[in-house]
Structure 1
Amino acid sequence: MTGQDGDRETGRATIYDVARLAGVSHQTVARFLNGEGGIRPYNKVKVEAALTELRYRPNMTARSLATKRTFRIGALGYEIAGHNPGRVLQAASDAARELGYVVEVMGLDPLDPGQLADGVETLIRHGVEGLLITSPTVGIAEELSGLRIDVPVLVDGARETDELQRRGTLLALNHLHALGHRRIAHLAGPSQWTAAHLRRETYESFMTEHAGASLVWEGDWESRSGYTRAERVVNDGSITAVFAANDRIALGALLRFHELGVRVPDDISIVGFDDMHESEFFHPPLTTVRQHVDAGGRTSAARLIAMIEGRPSEYPYPEPDLVVRASTGRANT
């Protein structure tokens, strides 16, 4: 027997198995899986627990035939082999699979906005029901705004997630300011990237508000960018703290500071952004802003599926946190 109730021939759990374990009717399980309302909260909890315990997976072929839907999502990503983009897409794929969807990922060049239209057209031809699009650069955002897309679209890089970038930056800067730092430099990422632009813009506004001069050196996202610009920070002679646009930039700066005999945090404090898995193992361990990229990817997938199914979204994006480690200390004034 096959269908929404699973596949008895392969030994996979069916909705009848789930209903029996949860102590509810199979109709209740079906309504839950279809995202319908009218389920008592305590029954919902029991169904969720039973689905997890039985590792229930719907029979997608039968489900598609029965509903005339594809249960496929397209994801257009940039630099998908990179640390954060890869984690976002993996988390989104995991969350979608748990909700009965398959994600088809297409990688594009972030500096070639013209690829976006072709990517969207290709995925729609493949029958996707919605699109998850990352918008890392100004050019991509402009290209996206001019496209007509006939399926639900969720943009990672829209106004709400942009605001989280600003709040994360303020966490770093307020931390340094509270430690007495007034001459704070910013090792910025490439300006055509939305995240780098937002972090720099927030930094400059913060410095203006707190009567401090903006001291910005722009580079790319790589460690060598921080390494080559760290010497300019030291040559200034008055800078006591650095806000790096990401942890890789901070890593390069830490090495150059060490080579120049600059002690961190005794002479200069430094804060990064992202909280890479390796950041706690830097020397010294890096104070940084944690973005919760895995949870953000899961939220994006859940929100898009809610749009596809015509349900209200109940999935907030996670707030950034400041992770304080040994790379920051009180200003030595």
Structure 2
Amino acid sequence: MSERTESPERMDGPTMPAKPATIYDVAQAAGVSHQTVSRFLKGFQGIRPETRERVVQALDELGYRPNLTARSLKSGRSHRIGALTHEISHVGPSRIVEGASAAAREAGYVLDIVSLDARNPRAIEESLGIITQHDLAGVLALASTDEMTAAFETAEFRVPAYVAVEADDAVDDPRSRLSRIGLPALVDHLAGLGHRRFVHIAGPANWSASRNRLRAYEATVTEHGLQSVAVLHGDWSARSGYHAIADLAELPDATAFIAANDQMALGAMLALKERGRRTPDDVSVVGIDDIPEAEFFDPPLTTLRNDFESQGRAAVAELLSRIERTEPRRLVTPLPQLIVRRSSGPAPTR
């Protein structure tokens, strides 16, 4: 019996992994020079939009990944950034991290994300101690609460670091865009529908973002000659927005409810419905952030669109300027945008 042989095309067995794509492969696929690809990966902004789009498409199609180990050996420095964050389950912090991660990757860095427990000071200190022992190019500390800001500001980092925190708006200081543009647009919209009596559902007091939104709400209502009937409090969750309304002994005499974020607006709408108030026939309910689910609420939610990803990108740009000792890139951050949907309507006539 003769031995059977198979042609190479029919042989089964493990295949050799494909050779990783290089910047030369990306350049060829995009129809640009390898210098252009290199400039893009380093975060250079002076690239035409159509060229940038072709490079991004080629990077995605070829699955290009920078060889950070080789780059680190060649340059003698790390290309890893330690990102310290917390409350990652909340929309704002999670989307800021997404923007930071994308910006780091585009600049040729890897973002190592460490989520801290803001309620456990010892855990915060241990995490800070662990991450600073690694070979890092820098540390990005993303703070939202007073406790985390204090922990980051007193920490001793052995590498360049940047603490990104939303500063508290003050009367004499430049106010945030949300305070100057966003909240006034939201109140203007409701006032234009005939609403004169308002309720605000605020976020937790230890968040600077919550305090800024409350200050902006109070200032705008006062400037328009309107009346704030009540300020209720939640913790950003839909459950807390629900209980802010459901647990009241008596509903405030108001026709417009402004929640400090979309989730609390969702909970508030359900509680108002259970107490016999229809949205938007009897009351208008609006939120802030424009989360992906906001347009699918019942009714779809009127809200302010915030660009959290740009905040993450701006934080990485600031840190990279400290790591690479260059001037920080000035990024264009979109303004807060009023998104009108069906949860806001004309104030009912009395």
Please report how far the alpha carbon of residue 250 of structure 1 lies from its aligned counterpart in structure 2 after TM superposition.
Answer: 1.0
**CA deviation string 1:223-251 (max 9, x = no partner):** 22222222577934530100011111111
User: Which of the numbers 327, 334, 337 marks the counterpart of 1:321?
Assistant: 337
Q: Aligned AA for 2:339?
A: V
Q: Aligned AA for 2:345?
A: G
Q: Aligned AA for 2:176?
A: E
Asked if residue 331 in structure 1 is aligned to residue 347 in structure 2, the reply is yes
Q: Aligned AA for 1:49?
A: R
How far apart are the structure 1 equivalents of 2:130 and 2:317? 23
Q: What is the SS of the residue equivalent to 1:180?
A: coil
How do residues 171-186 of structure 1 correspond to structure 2 at under 5 angstroms? 171-186=185-200
- Match of residue 3 from structure 1: none
Q: What is the SS of the residue equivalent to 1:263?
A: coil
- TM-score, normalization by structure 1: 0.83
How many residue pairs align between the two structures? Answer: 322
Q: What is the SS of the residue equivalent to 2:85?
A: strand
- Match of residue 231 from structure 2: 216
How far apart are the structure 2 equivalents of 1:53 and 1:134? 31
Asked if residue 229 in structure 1 is aligned to residue 247 in structure 2, the reply is no
Asked if residue 91 in structure 1 is aligned to residue 99 in structure 2, the reply is yes
Asked if residue 170 in structure 1 is aligned to residue 184 in structure 2, the reply is yes
**Which range moved further: 28-37 or 293-302?**
28-37
How far apart are the structure 1 equivalents of 2:269 and 2:44? 53
**Which range moved further: 225-234 or 19-28?**
19-28
Counterparts in 2 of 1:28 and 1:210: CA distance versus 1, 3 Å: closer
User: Which of the numbers 52, 70, 73 marks the counterpart of 1:65?
Assistant: 73
How do residues 100-139 of structure 1 correspond to structure 2 at under 5 angstroms? 100-113=108-121, 115-139=123-147
Counterparts in 2 of 1:102 and 1:217: CA distance versus 1, 3 Å: same
Q: Aligned AA for 1:53?
A: A
- Match of residue 268 from structure 1: 283
- Match of residue 253 from structure 1: 268
Question: Contact (CA 8 Å) 2:42, 2:107: kept in 1 or not?
Answer: no
Q: What is the SS of the residue equivalent to 1:125?
A: coil
How far apart are the structure 1 equivalents of 2:259 and 2:39? 48
How far apart are the structure 1 equivalents of 2:220 and 2:29? 55
How far apart are the structure 1 equivalents of 2:167 and 2:265? 27
Please report how far the alpha carbon of residue 170 of structure 1 lies from its aligned counterpart in structure 2 after TM superposition.
Answer: 2.9
User: Which of the numbers 183, 195, 204 marks the counterpart of 1:190?
Assistant: 204
How far apart are the structure 2 equivalents of 1:327 and 1:35? 41
Runs ≥4 residues deviating over 6 A: none
How far apart are the structure 1 equivalents of 2:238 and 2:77? 46
Please report how far the alpha carbon of residue 269 of structure 1 lies from its aligned counterpart in structure 2 after TM superposition.
Answer: 0.6
Q: What is the SS of the residue equivalent to 1:132?
A: strand
Question: Contact (CA 8 Å) 1:19, 1:47: kept in 2 or not?
Answer: no
Counterparts in 2 of 1:33 and 1:95: CA distance versus 1, 3 Å: closer
How far apart are the structure 1 equivalents of 2:256 and 2:44? 52
**CA deviation string 1:265-317 (max 9, x = no partner):** 12111111121221111111111111122343344334433442233313233
- Match of residue 78 from structure 1: 86
**CA deviation string 1:138-185 (max 9, x = no partner):** 222233333343433333323499714424333322222222222110
How do residues 142-157 of structure 1 correspond to structure 2 at under 5 angstroms? 142-157=150-165
Taking every aligned residue pair, what percent have the same amino acid on both sides?
42
Please report how far the alpha carbon of residue 254 of structure 1 lies from its aligned counterpart in structure 2 after TM superposition.
Answer: 0.9
Q: What is the SS of the residue equivalent to 2:194?
A: coil
**CA deviation string 1:103-155 (max 9, x = no partner):** 11111122345544443332221122122222111222233333343433333
Q: Aligned AA for 1:92?
A: A
Question: Contact (CA 8 Å) 2:168, 2:208: kept in 1 or not?
Answer: no
Q: What is the SS of the residue equivalent to 1:235?
A: coil
- Match of residue 22 from structure 2: 14
Question: Contact (CA 8 Å) 2:42, 2:108: kept in 1 or not?
Answer: no
Counterparts in 2 of 1:51 and 1:222: CA distance versus 1, 3 Å: closer
Ranges in structure 1 where 5+ consecutive residues have no aligned partner: 1-8
Question: Contact (CA 8 Å) 1:18, 1:47: kept in 2 or not?
Answer: no
How far apart are the structure 1 equivalents of 2:168 and 2:71? 34
**CA deviation string 1:173-219 (max 9, x = no partner):** 22222222221100111111221111112112223323344320112
Ranges in structure 2 where 5+ consecutive residues have no aligned partner: 1-16, 170-174
Counterparts in 2 of 1:92 and 1:193: CA distance versus 1, 3 Å: same
- TM-score, normalization by structure 2: 0.79
Counterparts in 2 of 1:94 and 1:41: CA distance versus 1, 3 Å: closer
Counterparts in 2 of 1:41 and 1:288: CA distance versus 1, 3 Å: closer
Counterparts in 2 of 1:292 and 1:28: CA distance versus 1, 3 Å: closer
- Match of residue 243 from structure 1: 258
Root-mean-square deviation (CA), in Å?
A: 3.1
